[in-house]
Structure 1
Amino acid sequence: MSDLKIADKAPQFELLNQDGVKISLKDFIGKKVILYFYPKDNTPGCTTQACEFTQNYEKFMDKNAVIIGISPDSIQSHGQFIEKFKLKHILLSDDEKEVAKNYGVWGVKKNYGKEYEGIIRSTFVIDEKGNIAKIYRNVRVKDHVLKVLEEL
């Protein structure tokens, strides 16, 4: 588990988006970044979360914020996920799980009594200077997006 705290510099990254274009965190200096890590495209909770970010996309834009979702899925999977649900925000492929580990969101999870490694659903709000402004760990999907928007 990473020791990231509020006011820390957000770990830099460069990953491919759904179109195979390299996206870096530093591309967004001057904007707030809502960086959310989710386990898997096309699963019920992840779909709900992504669709809620899309439904509130303009409200985030009005607050000078960009939304970026990261999961270990392939860029092809992200492309299909975006198309299927008409998602408006960026999805990045962290297939090596390097960024997830840097943010402390790759770890042991429990589901139905089984333990396995995976993404621990988390959201980081990064300020205009690239510092962590807010951390939400072990996120429950219900009302999460509205809470993030409200606290922005």
Structure 2
Amino acid sequence: MTLKAFYWKYSLWAAILNTVSIIAFLSFRHYSNTWLLYIGNILFSAMVLIGVIRGYHRVHDSTSVRSTFMMGFKITIYGVLLASLLCVVVLITNSLVSGLNDSSNPPQSGRGDVLFTILSNTIGVNAVLGALAALIGSTVVKKNQKTEQGKTLY
């Protein structure tokens, strides 16, 4: 498996796990349950962390901290792009099926800003938590902490 395919594999899994939480958030119809979105963000960052650990062991534990961080950061960027695409597909499907602003619920019931909440959670929070997971993962997996030297992957 090439390195780019490795990035896309873990990015796709991170995006799918985030999308599952969005589907669960939209299916319960109680928009005070934003904790479901945060579960998706945690799963997204956990998948980035798993990708960093697996990528480090893939090259026999000899990469530099910078290369490992860039690997996690690329997984995060690709994952945010895929998660945003899947999020838009889920939101369009949801609006076709039930509508974002259903006439049975008044606008003051908290459903008017669901689009902003989901998109900002998908793009902003996943980018920050994914970069944090890449940073923490790249410094933790390095065996020789005295030097940052090692193979360069990018």
Shorter chain as denominator, the TM-score bin is: under 0.3
Larger Rg: 2
- Point out the structure with the larger helix share: 2
Question: Normalising by the residue count of structure 1, what TM-score does the alignment of the two structures yield?
Answer: 0.28
